[in-house]
Amino acid sequence: MKTEEQITRFIESELLEGAAPNGDPLARGLLDSLAIEFLIGWVEEEFQISFSFRDVVAENFASIGALAALVDTKRLGGPQVGHENVR
């Protein structure tokens, strides 16, 4: 299963209580800050990665696709995305 699909299933089953909204729930702003924190914890555990404070920026959580891209990059040990201007 692709990273994006895994994240979508988790969001729908655990954070939206089984609801399957039209469109991307991250892009539509359907998750509050507590749900985002829960999502971060699940992603770190599920994919065996760690987010730094530099990873937790709006553009990395703007959509499920953006989050999945960050996860895949971190899993491959590549350069971080989404915070090029943070120093």
Q: Give the per-residue pLDDT at 6.
A: 97
Q: Give the per-residue pLDDT at 16.
A: 94
**Token digits for 29?**
């702003």
Residue 78: which pLDDT band, with cuts at 50, 70 and 90? low
Q: pLDDT tens-digit profile of 33-61?
A: 999 999 999 999 999 999 999 999 999 99
Provide the residue ranges of all domains of the chain, joining segments of one domain with +. 3-75
Global pTM value: 0.84
Please tell us whether the domain made up of 3-75 is placed in CATH 1.10.1200.10. yes
Rounded (5°) CA angle 22-27-33? 110
Q: How many helices (H) and strands (E) does the chain have?
A: 3, 0
